Amino acid sequence: MIEVVLNDRLGKKVRVKCNDDDTIGDLKKLVAAQTGTRADKIRIQKWYTVYKDHITLKITRSTTEDMGFEYAEVHYSSIYELGRDYG
Amino acid sequence: MANRTDPAAKSIRGTNPQNLVEKIVRSKIYQNTYWKEQCFGLTAETLVDKAMELDHIGGTYGGNRKPTPFMCLVMKMLQIQPEKDIVVEFIKNDDYKYVRVLGAFYLRLTGIDSDIYRYLEPLYNDYRKVRRKSPDGNFMLTHVDEVIDELLTRDYSCDIALPRIKKRWTLESLGVLDARKSVLEDDFEEEEEKDEMEQDGLEEEVAHEKDYYRARSPARERERDWRRDSHRHRDRDYDRDRDYDRERGRGRDRERDRDRDRDRDRYRLREEKEYGYERERDREREGRERDRRDRERGRRRSRSRSRSRERKRHGRSSMSPRRHEAEDGNAPEESKKKGKKEKKEKKEKKDDGTDHPDPEIAEANRIRASLGLKPLKL
């Protein structure tokens, strides 16, 4: 189980517990359950890499280093930056 | 050229008609290949041909919010602004249901309130199936009348914000519209009379419902026929329609079903008091939880709040051996808790982790189960 921190740079910071074989689509649903936006309105990205729904979190972890947080333009209701995972 | 509104077009609600679609969706449409290839230089006539080729409706879909051809055609109609007669023709045509839906959608965006109700309500009788593209790219089944219902009652459809229109009863009270006459009214009356006979044997709780669905006296029944032909609405129906329309949508049968179900549950609960107080509480709690989950899922603020709600629930039904606590395996002493124990054992066999000792994890697993995900691997 990992805990993922997501930040939309507009004040919503969300911590979600999930498995590392969950996909981004599942993560979006969990975030939607927690924040009240619709799951299909959420875009999850790390810096400018937008993650598509079928990617699993295990893969996002292994292929990206920890980047500093940068501001991302909000094109949809919510864009979430994946933060550091805490085991 | 392609993206500018026809200079002869009127402004709608004080703005460029294309602005009815919000900026982001609009840019998505302009960048779409269907728009660039097929929708270039369309006129009202050629638009009809394109509309006849439609085979699904929908908003934006996929990871990068691709618009459907339906949306592109709506945009095109907003751009060229066909005349009202043409739009009404779209709606009246019977052969092509997607043309109908397209016309209805355009009218909903650009028409005046009374027109919208007047032209869209007859479409409630169209029960043909319609394919709808859901936001994740798969197709869903829906029907023409469901789509019309969505247009008339919701604010948002196919990723376009629908302009506000006055409520139906406002227009009725202004005298602009007549009371809503459903084509299924006769069927409803027959149903009601059947209900009367069924409910005669039931308890008082239904009394208030009975008043609501009062049977007609034979004299009234006789009057009904000629009254219907003279296009005069019945007073009681008028009130009833008004109430129903205020409840948004064709809530008539929905409400009756809901009420009937609620009553049925109430009877069931009362019966089960004999089997065990806890069982009822469990069922209530589950029912409440289900309702809560369904209704409040979006509004759940922070975990602590839900945790405290859980704690309250723990406290309230503390008499029963909680499945989370240590006395899980102990045999209940009172005989009335035997039923509870069987139920508890069944619950422990569930493997979706919602009975985890840590309430946070249990809560997370509950959410996951409701979303259809597997439980957390610890």
Sign of the Cα pseudo-torsion (A56, A58, A64, A68, in order): positive
Torsion angle of C-alpha atoms B297, B301, B305, B307, degrees rounded to 10: 50
Task: Map tokens 């027959």 to a residue.
Answer: B190
Q: Could you tell me if the ipTM is greater than 0.85?
A: no
* Contact state of B63 with A30 under an 8 Å Cβ cutoff: no
* Nearest chain B Cα distance for residue A35, angstroms: 6
Contact between B56 and B138 (Cβ < 8 Å): no
Q: Which two tokens stand for residue B112?
A: 């005046």
Rounded-to-integer distance, Cα B104 and Cα B91, Å? 6
Highest mean pLDDT of the ranges A6-15, B218-227, B276-285, B363-372:
B363-372
Reported as a single tens digit per residue, the pLDDT across B102-130 is: 999 999 999 888 888 888 888 888 889 99
B367: Cβ contacts below 8 Å, ≥ 6 apart: A30, A33, A34, B297
Nearest Cα to Cα of residue A12 among A42, A53, A40: A42
Neighbouring residues of B359: CB distance < 8 A, sequence distance ≥ 6: B307, B310, B311, B324
Mutate to test the interface with B, among A4, A17, A48, A85 (most CBs of B within 10 A): A17
Question: Measured between alpha carbons, how far is B311 from B317 in angstroms, rounded to an integer?
Answer: 10
Q: What is the pLDDT of residues B70-106, one digit of tens each?
A: 999 999 988 888 889 999 999 998 889 999 999 999 9
A59: closest CA of chain B, how far (Å): 17
Bridge pairing between strands B57-58 and B129-133: parallel
Contact A84, A5 (CB under 8 A): yes
Spatial CA neighbour of B131 closest among B114, B147, B153: B147
State the pTM of this model: 0.53
Distance, in angstroms, between A7 CA and closest chain B CA?
Answer: 15
Amino acid in position B105: F
Query: How far is residue A65's CA from residue A46's CA, in Å, rounded to a whole number?
Result: 10
A65 vs B64, which has greater pLDDT? Answer: B64
Residues of A within 8 A of B374 (CB-CB) are 19
Say whether pLDDT at B285 is over 60. no
**Structural domains of chain A, ranges and CATH numbers in brackets:** 2-74 (3.10.20.90)
Cβ(B190)–Cβ(B137) below 8 Å: no
Q: With beta carbons under 8 A apart, name residues in chain A contacting B299.
A: 36
Question: Chain-centre distance of CA A7, in angstroms?
Answer: 8
